[in-house]
């Protein structure tokens, strides 16, 4: 159960490509001075790389399912993100049984584990809100996050721009964006460990990573979570968030 909880925390915090732990007092719609290695430019290039600002902003909700094989057990992670109504749901199941579920509905957050309900504090709820967006990068200014360029680093043979990111609660993470493609390659933090994004594929005109590789000191081996279903702008109901 401990391993499964760590997995959920890692995937929850990163929100399957929306990596919420980043921000700056600008937005993609603000005038951007093209400055080499400027965080605003790196983020703008990322949004352009995945499909462009106009296309990304048309995504109001997403339903995603990923699977990971851990020691012969299939772990299924379902995420529903609804930015239009500021709500989200994420569940982790093993053998068809829901082991853990996280909910954000009507401004309140809950974590349900083995039938036990825990109300989440405001600080945690604040970190869940960016996860209602599939690509929260375009709303960094509204979230009050701060970005800093930390140089370049080679990851898996690819040169990347490294951004140091501080969330409003002081939580720090690093994100790495490919210099060549602009796509996000990796995130790293003390809370989540390392998460690498790969196998970008087009979904409704938007590039989305279909493979996440999670490395955490408390995981005996790297865990690969493969996206098996990604759907944008579907019809959602209240029952999806229960």
Q: Is 80 part of any domain?
A: yes
Average pLDDT over residues 63-84: 93
Q: Is residue 146 within 8 Å of residue 25, measured between CB atoms?
A: yes
122 vs 30, residue with greater confidence? 122
Evaluate the CA torsion angle 159, 189, 80, 91 in order and state its sign.
positive
Residues in Cβ contact with 1 at an 8 Å cutoff, skipping those fewer than 6 apart: 99, 114
pLDDT at residue 2 tops 80: no
pLDDT at residue 32 tops 70: no
Q: Is 235 part of any domain?
A: no
Q: Is 89 part of any domain?
A: yes
CA distance 53 to 116: 40
Neighbours of 172 (CB within 10 A): 14
Q: Is 237 part of any domain?
A: no
- For residue 207, what are the domain limits? 2-230
Q: Is residue 64 within 8 Å of residue 229, measured between CB atoms?
A: yes
pLDDT at 107: 92
pTM of the model: 0.81
Classify 50 in phi/psi space as left (phi over 0), alpha (psi -120 to 50) or beta.
alpha
pLDDT at 124: 86
Q: Is 63 part of any domain?
A: yes
Residues in Cβ contact with 36 at an 8 Å cutoff, skipping those fewer than 6 apart: none
Question: Going by DSSP bridges, is the β-strand pair 223-232/61-70 parallel, antiparallel, or unpaired?
Answer: antiparallel
pLDDT at residue 25 tops 60: no
Q: Is 33 part of any domain?
A: yes
Q: What is the CATH number of the domain that holds 137?
A: 2.50.20
Report how many domains make up the chain: 1
Could you report the per-residue pLDDT of 160-174, keeping only the tens digit for each? 999 998 888 888 889
CA distance 181 to 164: 19
Percent of the chain residues topping a pLDDT of 90: 61
Q: Is 157 part of any domain?
A: yes
pLDDT at residue 205 tops 90: yes
5 vs 50, residue with greater confidence? 50
Q: Is 236 part of any domain?
A: no
Burial 195-211 (b: 16+ CB within 10 A, else e): bbbeebeebeebbbbbe
């Amino acid at each position: 159960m401990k391993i499964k909880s760590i997995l959920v925390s890692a995937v929850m915090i990163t929100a399957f490509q929306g990596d919420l732990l980043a921000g700056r007092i600008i937005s993609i719609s603000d005038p951007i001075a093209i400055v080499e290695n400027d965080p605003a430019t790196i983020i703008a290039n990322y949004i352009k790389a995945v499909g462009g600002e106009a296309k990304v902003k048309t995504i109001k909700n997403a339903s995603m399912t990923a699977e990971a094989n851990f020691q012969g057990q299939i772990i299924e992670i379902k995420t529903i993100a609804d930015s239009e109504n500021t709500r989200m749901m994420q569940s982790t199941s093993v053998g068809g049984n829901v082991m853990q579920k996280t909910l954000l509905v009507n401004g309140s957050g809950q974590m349900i584990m083995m039938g036990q309900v825990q109300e989440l504090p405001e600080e945690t709820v604040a970190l869940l809100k960016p996860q209602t967006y599939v690509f929260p990068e375009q709303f960094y200014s509204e979230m009050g996050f701060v970005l800093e360029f930390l140089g370049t680093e080679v990851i898996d043979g690819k040169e990347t721009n490294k951004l140091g990111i501080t969330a409003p609660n002081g939580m720090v993470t690093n994100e790495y964006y490919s210099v060549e493609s602009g796509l996000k390659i990796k995130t790293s933090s003390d809370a989540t460990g390392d998460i690498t994004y790969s196998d970008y594929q087009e979904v409704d005109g938007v590039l989305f990573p279909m493979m996440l590789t999670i490395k955490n000191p408390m995981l005996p081996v790297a865990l690969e979570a493969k996206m098996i279903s990604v759907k944008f702008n579907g019809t959602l109901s209240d029952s999806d968030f229960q």
